[in-house]
Amino acid sequence: MKITVEYRNNKIELEFESSKVKAKDILKKLNLSRDYAFVVKNDEIVDLDEYITESDKVKVINAISGGKF
């Protein structure tokens, strides 16, 4: 299965052997930590166990934190 992912303003085509792909599989393929990035499917943040299909609009966004306490 091929899934197009938008990451840092680039479109990346990822290929998976399985016909069932979860959000966490996308992060793994991009070598990103689940602690520092999240997946948006069709304009909604999804759980890492959410299934993604070829027709979904998928974006990966890095979580940013900082500031003073």
How many CA within 13 A on the CB side of residue 17? 0
**Cβ contacts of residue 69 below 8 Å, gap of 6+?**
none
Reported confidence tier of residue 65, pLDDT bands at 50, 70, 90: low
Pairing relationship of beta strands 2-7 and 58-62 according to DSSP bridges:
parallel
% of the chain residues with pLDDT over 70:
93
For 6-15, 29-38, 43-52, 59-68, which range has the lowest pLDDT when averaged over its residues? 59-68
Distance, in Å, from the CA atom of 2 to the CA atom of 14, rounded to the nearest integer, reads: 6
Domain segments of the chain as ranges: 2-62
pLDDT at site 69: 58
Question: pLDDT tens-digit profile of 31-49?
Answer: 999 889 999 999 999 999 9
CATH class of 2-62: alpha beta
